[in-house]
Amino acid sequence: MSAPPSEAGSHHPPTLTAHLRATTGVNVAACYQCGKCSAGCPMAVETALRPHDVMRLAASEQRERLLAAESLWLCLTCEACTARCPNGCDPARVIDALREEAAHQAPRAIGAFHRSFLDQIRAFGRSFELGLVMTYKLRSGKLTQDVTTAPGLLGRGKLKLVPHPIAGVSDVRRIFRACEKEEA
């Protein structure tokens, strides 16, 4: 009788908890569901899964449910949840890692929005909404969706016609280049 293959030698994907621990250093099983993270989350009322729900589902190996959850994309990454965690579980880092994994499996529209948003940050150091909308529409193929809202937004000054880069945009671009080198 031979020993079972190690996780590294196995053809099975690592467990979600093992993947999260390897990528973030966070042991999701250490979360004892006190709810302090969710109590401080500014998006808790907008999301179906609050930070403590994400931690519970991750510890329960609910990979598919988490990766399909819209709540991952609604997280502001403000890190209020992480700051409030009495056990150092870092829900914001876990959510970010789950988003990264979900982005690889995301439907075209989510991936298109993600890339369009990052392109605006790289170019201007902040989001230029009109540019974001235009690049998203082109990438996603949803050219006419929400088109009737644009005149009202422009009229109320909510969509600026010209981007206004931040003073430190060269620093932001340097960070992007460093991240791209890490990924290569």
Give the residues of the chain that fall short of pLDDT 50: 1-10
Instruction: Give the side-chain half-sphere CA count within 13 A for 48.
Output: 9
> Under a CB-based contact definition with an 8 Å cutoff, are residues 110 and 103 in contact?
yes
Helix (H, G, I), strand (E, B) or coil at 179: helix
pLDDT tens column, 94-108: 999 999 888 777 666
Q: Exposed, middle or buried, 61 (CB in 10 Å: 0-12/13-18/19+)?
A: middle
Number of domains in the chain: 2
My answer on whether 91 and 137 are in the same domain is: no
My answer on whether 100 and 115 are in the same domain is: no
Q: Which domain holds residue 32?
A: 16-105
Has residue 3 been placed in a domain?
no
CATH, residue 96: 1.10.1060.10
My answer on whether 113 and 84 are in the same domain is: no
My answer on whether 55 and 100 are in the same domain is: yes
Has residue 154 been placed in a domain?
yes
Has residue 174 been placed in a domain?
yes
Task: Give CA torsion, residues 4, 9, 14, 20, to 10 deg.
Answer: 120
pLDDT tens column, 38-77: 999 999 999 999 999 999 999 999 999 999 898 998 999 9
Quick check: pTM over 0.85? no
Has residue 55 been placed in a domain?
yes
My answer on whether 133 and 53 are in the same domain is: no
